[in-house]
Structure 1
Amino acid sequence: MRHIIVSFMLAAMLCGCGNKVEEDSYFPLATGTRWAYTVSSESDGNASRENHVISVIKQITQDNRQVAVRRSESEQNIGVEYWISTLPDRFVRIAQRSDLEERATMDAQPRTVLPVPLRKGSAWTTLTTTYFILRKSEFPRELKYSHKALMTYTVESVDETVTVPAGQFSNCARVSGLAFLTLYTDPVRGFHKVPLVTNEWYCKGIGLVKLERIEELSTAFFSGGKMSMELTEYVLP
């Protein structure tokens, strides 16, 4: 489950260039930038808490474009690297690599992370999966490899104040995501559309400060869960 949390959360950060861009960016991704988070999750009736670190380790060139390589790692888990590229109207993820792989795997299509500029009402879609819904009696219990859903992301606000262990931040953008996964939940309800909900808060000059994922479900066949991630400290070069 820890690797899952890393996966969905970190397709959402990008590279910038120059001090002014970094100060004004919701994604200050100069090499050497580092974020530490506390992750609290509940799944299948079990609660867990762990530390998670994201860092920008280097800049590379791919197809004549500058690409930021972000590394994501947590306790008792392998690290994952994401390649983020900047297009004229959006930031995209173009590849990823785990510590078990020698080379990065290119995405079939660039995966939209955030639009540029980030404005209230902006919306986009991308594929997601379930990270916390588990089968109760069938194996494999996880659905992440077999079930996909199209999530619609919307910038709900750009002037929110967020308080996390790392401090209080103002003028933050809140991005919400909503998708529905159709499952045969039990003989009584039959097929049911299960909501998958994501809320993310990004602050200028800091980056991602808070993230929530909610997948509520409790039936004879499935159990759900949720996760909250909050910034505890950060380093900006």
Structure 2
Amino acid sequence: MYKKYKNKNISILNYFSVLLCTVICISCSKKEYSYFPLNSGLKWHYNVSLTTRDGLERQKYILHNIGTDELNGETVFLRKSLDGKVLYYSISDDGIYYLGSLDSRAISSKFYADKRLVIPKPFTIDTKWEQITYTKLLKKTGPPQRTEYKIIAEVPLELKIESLEDTVIVPAGKFNKCMRIKMTGSAYKEAGNYVGLTLVNVVQTNWYSPGVGLVKMERLETTQSDALDKGTLSIELVNFESG
């Protein structure tokens, strides 16, 4: 049976927060949670490459584990991003969950709940679960549009652990015995005059290294329309600071 979880991605960097799920060892097996470390002091530096019909955009992204707190009586683990968002995670009997976020730079900080499973427990090859995602890479400006044109489609995803033995090479180095999680899904979307009804496909692959966490992610969003055919997102680890 599949598990179902809803995932409303608010921004491209929110996609990122889930992919970067990785290491906790509190009343848990080190092996099970080393793929998503949450202990305080860890820091990740990433290169982000975003390609849309407008071209290639490069960004830097940093995540920093900043300790624990309480949310609704539950111990939660906090991870702060470069843009000021504080991301909340929890550990339960069935896995590690992303709970939501708040903007620490806002005058009135509000917690935005968005619970979703990051890595299940226990996990084996072919473990599957389900989530909902929203496209963010299908966009363009310029003719025939006068302003930015986007296709934001709700797409159900099937997530599957495909391997625990991958070797991944990124700017931070070579990582062995990585967990590979692949996400695939599609949905029809009425996208307006220039595109009309089109099938939207999403394919995303995350690689997690034991003791480090997310080392690489690739995401591809496509449609059947030549007017707005695809967008890609690539994230690679540049440096990992263990404190």
Q: Shorter-chain TM-score: what band? A: 0.7 to 0.9
* 2:127 counterpart letter in structure 1: S
Distance of 2:50 and 2:121 partners within structure 1: 31
Instruction: Indicate how the Cα distance of structure 1 residues 101 and 128 shifts in structure 2: closer, same or farther if over 3 A, else same.
Output: farther
Q: Is the 8 A contact 1:90 1:113 kept in 2?
A: yes
Of 23, 35, 55, the residue aligned with 1:26 is 35
Q: Give 3-state SS (helix, strand or coil) of 1:95's partner.
A: strand
Match of 1:114 in 2: 119
CA–CA distance in structure 2, aligned partners of residues 219 and 138 of structure 1: 19
Provide the rounded CA distance (Å) in 2 between the counterparts of 1:101 and 1:22.
40
Deviation at 1:216, TM superposition (A): 2.8
Asked if 1:37 corresponds to 2:42, the answer is no
Uncovered stretches (5+) of structure 2, i.e. residues with no partner: 1-9
Q: Is the 8 A contact 2:51 2:232 kept in 1?
A: yes
Q: TM-score, normalised to structure 2's length? A: 0.82
Q: Name the structure 2 match of 1:4.
A: 11
Q: Percent identity, aligned pairs only?
A: 25
**23 and 123 in structure 1: CA distance in 2 versus 1, 3 angstrom threshold:** closer
Which whole-Å deviations, capped at 9, do the CAs of 1:179-215 have from their partners, x for residues lacking one?
Answer: 2131346889963322111110001001000000111
Aligned partner of 1:129 among 123, 129, 134: 134
> Does the 8 Å CA contact 1:82/1:97 hold for their aligned counterparts?
yes
* C-alpha RMSD of the superposition: 2.8
**Of 106, 129, 141, the match for 1:100:** 106
Match of 1:154 in 2: 160
Q: How far, CA to CA, are the matches of 1:105 and 1:35 in structure 2?
A: 23
Asked if the contact 2:195/2:227 (under 8 Å) is kept, the reply is no
Which residue, out of 192, 196, 200, partners 2:198? 192
Moved more, 199-208 or 131-140: 131-140
Does 2:215 correspond to 1:206?
no
Distance 1:62 1:15 in 2: 20
**1:10-41 CA distances to partner (integer Å, 9 max, x unpaired)?**
12425623598389610111111000011112
Residue 234 (1) aligns with residue 243 (2): no
Counterpart among 51, 60, 83 of residue 60 in structure 2: 51
The gaps in structure 1 that reach 5 residues or longer are none
